Amino acid sequence: MTGIRLISTTTIQATKHDENNSTHKKIDLTPWDLTLLKIETIQQGLLFHKPKTNQIQHLKQTLSTTLNFFPPLTGRLVITRHDEHNKASCSVICNNVGALFVHAIAENTTIADITQPNYVPPIVHALFPLNGVKNYEGTTQPVLAVQVTELIDGIFIGFAINHLVADGKSFWLFVNSWAEISRGFNKPTKIPTFERWFPDDINRPIQFPFTEDAQKKQREIPPIRLFHFTKEKVAQLKSKANAEIGHSSTNNTDKIIIISSFQALITHIWRSSASKQHAEPGEETSFALVMDCRTRMCPNLGENYFGNTRVFEIVTMKTKELMEGGIGKVSMEINKVISTQSHEKIMNQYESWLKTPIIIVPGMLSRSNVLMANSSPRFDVYGNDFGWGKPIAVRNGVGNKSIGKVTVFAGFEQGSIDVELCLPYDVLEALGNDQLFLDAMSV
């Protein structure tokens, strides 16, 4: 690891694992999970000021206690081959083999080295474990890995969780729980549920065509630039979008459409980045949305459902329509797509996958004229106090980075939003020099 000195690696197991207890021993995976087999783990991390005392042993002990409430995170995947048509099935075995804990030191790195550059520096990628590991490799690789790196004046905790086991909401549920137990809680405030959702008549585990990648391809890491939008600027974008649509009603109901802060912000990013692409007016440009299904299913799956509940939808417009429509009109198109995600529509997608399984491959949507938003500013990242103070920044690892990816997460100031953009360098530079784009940001 460049600029990193490895101190130790430790396997952390749950302290209360009963070999005879079959509860959640085997967790079959849903299409929402299985579609992610070939991409990489979730990697996100938190930067803190340096604690007054060494916290490594404390973090190991409290992680072990936390894992009592998260049995899948100390388990492994099992991929079973079936004779017919090269089919396979995949489950999580909660066998308490353990999570990986890495202790490292970045002797020449300061907090400022991470927070001040506009572009994410390479040292950040070295602060995460499981770089390059794909989810299906969870048969031998840990489901959860944590790397705690001591900086000159800070400490960085980098998390990597197998994406078949958790989505972003589940990821932060685990981190929030560990922070609580690290501060002295006996158990997490929110207890996760691990029972996956399946239709009543489905055969489990699901069988699907699957072949492992013949070899790992070395891929280039795209330029990654960070943009910070203050609470006031986010509010202005939202206000502008809603003013432009005049609080329009839908065609068949009297329901008032209210554009959210998130919808207004990603519209602003989409239109601004498209303006730097120099595309022809008739060319198509797209924005892919990843949406949580927990509250869209009937009955509701519950906020503490631990697993993937994601659906993808793509909003496509001609460049001319995108640029001339204004932030309100474009935001409304995004709003319509999000609002149509009903239980019935999600079920249709679910059943369609069962008939024709689609497994995402890295870079499937990697084009500069296709943006894809992931993560959420609603995730509680700055409430993660492990006992020595709240984080001062959140950063992502290199996993699943490709051209067009837009990662949105809460900013340090309540109500502000940070955006990580992966686009060609010339486009990112043009955005950084565009006064109209910067007017919606802090200086």
Distance CA 105, CA 5 (A): 5
Per-residue pLDDT band at 212 (split at 50, 70, 90): confident
Q: Torsion angle of alpha carbons 209, 358, 308, 399, nearest 10°?
A: 100
User: ∠ at Cα 191 (190, 197), nearest 5°?
Assistant: 115
Helix (H) or strand (E) holding 6: strand 5-12
Burial class of residue 118, CB neighbours in 10 A (0-12, 13-18, 19+): exposed
- What length is written for the chain? 443
Report domain extents, the chain: 5-209, 224-438
The pLDDT tens digits of the residues spanning 257-304 come to: 899 999 999 999 999 999 998 888 999 999 999 999 999 999 999 999
Q: Which residues pair with 160 in a beta bridge?
A: 43, 145
Q: Tell me what pLDDT residue 362 has.
A: 79
Helix (H, G, I), strand (E, B) or coil at 221: coil
Interatomic CA distance for residues 336 and 256, integer angstroms: 12
Q: Is residue 163 among the annotated active site residues?
A: yes
CATH code matching the domain that covers 5-209, chosen among 3.40.50.12780, 3.30.559.10, 1.10.10.10, 3.40.50.620: 3.30.559.10
Catalytic residue chosen out of the listed positions 24, 28, 385, 434 = 385
pTM over the 0.75 mark: yes
pLDDT class of 250 with cuts at 50, 70, 90 = very low
Quick one: CATH architecture of 224-438? 2-Layer Sandwich (3.30)
Kindly state the tokens that stand for 118. Answer: 């506009």
Domains 5-209 and 224-438 are alike in CATH topology:
yes
Q: Looking at 125, 163, 167, 418, which residue is catalytic? A: 163
**Model pLDDT for residues 382-418, shown as the tens digit of each residue:** 999 999 999 999 999 999 999 999 999 999 999 999 9
Q: Please indicate whether residue 385 is annotated as part of the active site.
A: yes
Q: Check residue 249 and give its pLDDT.
A: 44
The predicted-structure confidence for 112-157, as pLDDT tens digits, reads as follows 999 999 999 999 999 999 999 999 999 999 999 999 999 999 999 9
The two three-digit tokens of residue 223, written as one number: 């330029």
Return the DSSP state at 217. Answer: P
Distance CA 259, CA 256 (A): 10
Residue 22 confidence (pLDDT) above 90: no
Q: Are 78 and 90 in contact (CB under 8 A)?
A: yes
* Mean pLDDT of the chain, nearest integer: 92
Quote the pLDDT of residue 251.
46
Terminal CA-CA length for the chain? 34
Give the torsion sign (CA, 353, 359, 362, 365). negative
User: Do residues 78 and 10 touch, judged by C-beta distance below 8 A?
Assistant: no
> Is pLDDT above 90 for 90?
yes
pLDDT at 3: 87
Smallest Cα–Cα separation from 96: which of 11, 27, 14? 14
